[in-house]
């Protein structure tokens, strides 16, 4: 088993529900256990136009090799209607492998740790929410990079329900629309 962290983001359609449903899709995979999910955050697009994004980070335990995990991320994106008409285009769903164990990978279509991990508040803040003492391989403590992203707009999204039990159910995606194929 390998601990991996994925960044999820969306800014088209019902982005918040899409993130909930995507977490359910991940949890339904026999090679994945979802260990933790951050809160949802609303953020301004960076290097792009369009509506605000909703973002979160999930911590996984997986038996999938990193290439299989990448293929699964692409399959789930496709399931939710992801198109790639141009770089940084608005999207129905974006799944990025942020970290995969202690591995460092530098290939044309896959770089881990994610190359912009330490440059984006929408990744660092939710990542640190679920793993406050995280060490990024070859870079150091994740919290050391917070000051460099402090100017980026990010706000934690409050759950519409203040009842802890109902909020927990909603956050696990028990109300998700269908399943992931």
Tell how far CA 97 is from the center of its chain. Answer: 8
Cα separation, 2 vs 45, whole angstroms:
31
Our answer to whether residue 42 is catalytic in this structure is no
138: left (phi over 0), alpha (psi -120 to 50) or beta: left
Please choose, from the candidates 69, 131, 86, 95, the residue with its C-alpha nearest in 3D space to the C-alpha of residue 10: 95
Rounded to the nearest angstrom, the gap between the alpha carbon of residue 100 and the centroid of all alpha carbons in its chain is 13
Q: Write down the catalytic residue from 67, 82, 139, 153.
A: 82
Whether residue 96 lies in the annotated active site: yes
- Annotation marks residue 94 as catalytic: yes
Catalytic residue, from 96, 109, 120, 153: name it: 96
Q: Out of 51, 94, 109, 174, pick the active-site residue.
A: 94
User: Pick the catalytic residue: 14, 16, 87, 91?
Assistant: 91
Give yes or no for a contact between 38 and 130, defined as CB atoms under 8 angstroms apart: yes
| 174: annotated active-site residue | no
Residues labelled catalytic: 82, 91, 94, 96
């Amino acid at each position: 088993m390998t601990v991996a962290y994925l960044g999820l983001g969306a800014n088209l359609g019902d982005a918040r529900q899409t993130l909930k449903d995507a977490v359910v899709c991940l949890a339904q995979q026999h090679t994945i256990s979802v260990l933790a999910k951050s809160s949802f955050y609303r953020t301004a697009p960076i290097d792009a136009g369009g509506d605000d994004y909703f973002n979160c980070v999930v911590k996984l335990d997986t038996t999938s090799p990193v290439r299989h995990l990448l293929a699964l991320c692409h399959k789930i994106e496709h399931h939710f209607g992801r198109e790639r008409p141009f770089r940084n285009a608005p999207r129905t769903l974006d799944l990025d492998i942020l970290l995969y164990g202690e591995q460092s990978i530098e290939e044309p279509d896959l770089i881990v740790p994610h190359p912009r991990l330490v440059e984006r508040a929408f990744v660092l803040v939710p990542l640190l929410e679920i793993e406050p003492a995280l060490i990024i391989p070859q870079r150091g403590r994740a919290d050391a990079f917070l000051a460099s992203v402090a100017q980026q707009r990010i706000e934690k999204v409050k759950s519409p329900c203040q009842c802890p039990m109902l909020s927990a159910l909603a956050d696990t995606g028990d109300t998700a629309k269908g399943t992931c194929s």
